[in-house]
Structure 1
């Protein structure tokens, strides 16, 4: 027992150290511009019927476009397919499966679309393959004797290949295109049976993933990052200032940035702008509420106060300029008519 106690003492000390080193973080939302910048200006769009679309990929992309909201407003005007059918029938054009670029331009002009999204599902396959895998089991309690045996197994691979593109209806030029080949595999063995998924279920999920990825490339999007808060005073805090620091962090964790702003502002004032912890934490709150220029000023103040490198502050200094640039680009894309 005497030899065990030191082990537990060390383990407990390490556990306390690990728990104490877990920094408080908050999740911040950022608006980023479309990755395909030239595609962001096309906001009146139509989705042409995809070739060989047995998985409903075209419909899923149309739904994603319709549901795309940026700054609490719909980003796209997705032109109604029923209205298209009526107009195109009148013009003796068949909306389903338009492939000729001249027809696409003519159809786009008739229905007022700036761009068409179209594509093809070139394959949707499911394949089962059989194989054997080796297992071992002990023949005695000490496992001095082992038996090796083989177990039959099944590997199911479900895959899809598709291409998607967005076309300028005025020029017939391809604005952006991408090819996708998602593939997933599952295993089931006789001694550990697992229900293998149905191919239709997987194809639907793969088609949803393709639709989500494509739309995320051509429109501004929101991303989320966890940002660290500093919870240990860097200078001598009195009892009131310690409580302000604790309360400010608690309100951040409760997603009450308004209260956290008031408290950290008071802490910066009471510490006479000499505490990088107070300045940095207020900067995080400003960043979380989209006040990026104010956040930058506070991070710069925190940076000037640190005597030794503080990782969180250094990350903030590097991050905030990129955040400002990306937000400006996204805002410009949104403002385009």
Structure 2
């Protein structure tokens, strides 16, 4: 009885290890922008921000101007020179663009559809230090360390925080499209790893705020890994068919999805469409190539062929439906005028 239990536990451990080492495919999927209304407000102006001593508005402007999707620019940014010219003519300060009515007036004069304004609510960085006791072995013997050196080191610490209030004004209506407060923090300890200076820390935090904000405004690709099934479940499969399947997995690992797709399609035909493993892997290859509707059909076929639930197939079915919905929403945003 004890031996059987031991064998069972060993088999379970081996199965767990094998599942953890399953071959995985990196999938690229299109996600829509969180702020969907910006799809029809692609000509934007970014004002100078209030209390902005760390260049946050410039960083946001730069990231928005650089952002491309499928090699095409998503936004058109009104030049800061043109914005400043209008501001000077209207005898306005950048801080006055925090007012929706003023932002709308200026936005119309420069032909923008949306104006991004904001302020640095807080930006602090403080340093401190403490002393840490340490020891070092100066002489080792078979029994262990025979002589120690005791010494003290001074450790430096830094705590930094930046908080920014950001708004997007719809120039046409004068209403707020989106408002957000983004907080970022940094802490460092020189006795644990190299730390940033105060200026470097604040610069990194404003970079992070700009990246997070712009990420919400634009459709973008996300990446995730999907585990494959690596053994055909049919008892009637031949050695030649197993070899074809193994070779297709090798092509997948090499990133040759086109070759793997062709082999898997032929293998599925040979097996009269009866292998859920082949159908599932075929679906993953199609998903990796962006053929989401075809992948969904393969996942449905694989699910129909299973006698009991298969976790990888269950995950694929729920994932592919979400991916299709998100892709369609993102495409609408990208094609909106």
TM-score with structure 2 length normalisation?
0.85
Does 2:273 match 1:268? no
Aligned residue number for residue 98 of structure 1: 96
Relative to structure 1, is the Cα distance of residues 86 and 148 closer, same or farther in structure 2, using a 3 angstrom cutoff? Answer: closer
* 4+ aligned runs moved over 6 Å, structure 1: 13-17, 136-140, 142-150
Aligned residue number for residue 297 of structure 2: 297
Post-superposition Cα deviations, 1:233-268, rounded to whole Å, max 9, x if no partner, equal 111321221122122112222222211111111111
Instruction: For residue 299 of structure 1, report the CA deviation from its aligned partner.
Output: 0.3
Instruction: For residue 172 of structure 1, report the CA deviation from its aligned partner.
Output: 2.4
Where structure 1 has 5 or more consecutive residues not aligned to the other structure, the ranges are 1-9
Aligned residue number for residue 218 of structure 1: 217
- Matched residue SS, 1:29: strand
Instruction: For residue 87 of structure 1, report the CA deviation from its aligned partner.
Output: 4.1
Aligned residue number for residue 126 of structure 1: 125
- Matched residue SS, 1:319: helix
CA distance in 1, matches of 2:172, 2:48: 19
- Matched residue SS, 2:326: helix
Post-superposition Cα deviations, 1:50-103, rounded to whole Å, max 9, x if no partner, equal 1121211111111111122223311111111122233444x4344643333332
TM-score with structure 1 length normalisation?
0.85
Contact kept? 1:124, 1:160, Cα under 8 Å: yes
Aligned CA RMSD, in angstroms, stands at 3.0
Of stretches 280-289 and 133-142 in structure 1, the one that deviates more from structure 2 is 133-142
CA distance in 2, matches of 1:131, 1:306: 62
- Matched residue SS, 2:277: helix
> 1:166-181 counterparts in 2 under 5 A?
166-181=168-183
- Matched residue SS, 1:241: helix
Aligned residue number for residue 17 of structure 2: 18
Relative to structure 1, is the Cα distance of residues 187 and 15 closer, same or farther in structure 2, using a 3 angstrom cutoff? Answer: farther
Aligned residue number for residue 323 of structure 2: 323
Aligned residue number for residue 6 of structure 1: none
- Matched residue SS, 1:252: helix
Instruction: For residue 329 of structure 1, report the CA deviation from its aligned partner.
Output: 1.1
CA distance in 2, matches of 1:135, 1:301: 63
Aligned residue number for residue 281 of structure 1: 281
Post-superposition Cα deviations, 1:272-297, rounded to whole Å, max 9, x if no partner, equal 10011111111111111221111111
- Matched residue SS, 2:44: strand
CA distance in 1, matches of 2:57, 2:175: 20
> 1:82-93 counterparts in 2 under 5 A?
82-89=81-88, 91-93=89-91
Aligned residue number for residue 49 of structure 1: 48
- Matched residue SS, 2:60: helix
CA distance in 2, matches of 1:20, 1:322: 25
Where structure 2 has 5 or more consecutive residues not aligned to the other structure, the ranges are 1-8
Aligned residue number for residue 256 of structure 1: 256
Aligned residue number for residue 3 of structure 2: none
CA distance in 2, matches of 1:322, 1:276: 22
Of stretches 149-158 and 239-248 in structure 1, the one that deviates more from structure 2 is 149-158
Instruction: For residue 137 of structure 1, report the CA deviation from its aligned partner.
Output: 8.1
